[in-house]
Chain A
């Protein structure tokens, strides 16, 4: 069974701070997605990374896929209260299904 680990599990920071959250596995994935989920709603796709070493930017969010396609990081610059939510990474298990990590719960305080 492929497993994804995410760290930290919880993160509480002040508005304006920078942060990085991590997604790690011992397995290789064909692609990896990051989602954000808010209370009472379903996860919303933020980005997909496919190539080892790939870096993608989405406004203040920077996503990186590890060279070996086993891990990924999400860096947020100048966090805002609107960034609060559960950040989930999901690995594409070569077409069989998508494996989700347990998530990092981020709270950005004004």
Chain B
């Protein structure tokens, strides 16, 4: 897990604020996936990105959520105007190519008050 770095580990936001979650993939990995996990539940796919491209965003809400993976720098998951229902753990995973097993970070736990 240490290879995929997510920050912050914990994030508290008030309703209406913006949350920005960062993910640095393992060295040499160009594929990034974002998943959301609620307590006592499994992982729900949100978005799959390669450098500068969104490949599959079928799991991401159409409003308020966006993701990017620029040529330089970490992948960012951005949630605008957060609501209490956005409270969850958000996990990032990376792989060196598509269809290879995923390596996960330790997640960002978002709490919306």
A82 part of interface (Cβ distance < 8 Å): no
Q: Is the CB of B99 within 8 A of A88?
A: no
Tell me whether A88 and B33 are in contact in the complex, defined as CB-CB below 8 angstroms, given that A31-B99, A97-B48 are known contacts: no
Query: Distance in Å from the Cβ of B49 to the closest Cβ of chain A?
Result: 11
Contacts of B101 in A (CB 8 A): 33, 45, 48
Query: Distance in Å from the Cβ of B79 to the closest Cβ of chain A?
Result: 19
Q: Which residues, 60 to 108 on B, are CB-close (under 8 Å) to A?
A: 91, 93, 98-99, 101-107
Contacts of A100 in B (CB 8 A): 35, 42-45
How many A-B pairs have beta carbons closer than 8 Å: the answer is 59
Q: Return the contact of A44 from the options B1, B33, B107 (Cβ within 8 A).
A: B1
User: How many Å lie between the Cα of A40 and that of B42 in the bound state?
Assistant: 14
Q: Is the CB of A98 within 8 A of B102?
A: yes
Chain B interfacial positions (CB closer than 8 Å to A): 1, 4, 33, 35, 40-45, 48, 56, 58-59, 91, 93, 98-99, 101-107
A–B pairs, 12, beta carbons within 8 Å: A6-B42, A33-B102, A42-B105, A42-B106, A45-B101, A88-B42, A88-B43, A90-B102, A94-B99, A96-B56, A97-B48, A97-B58
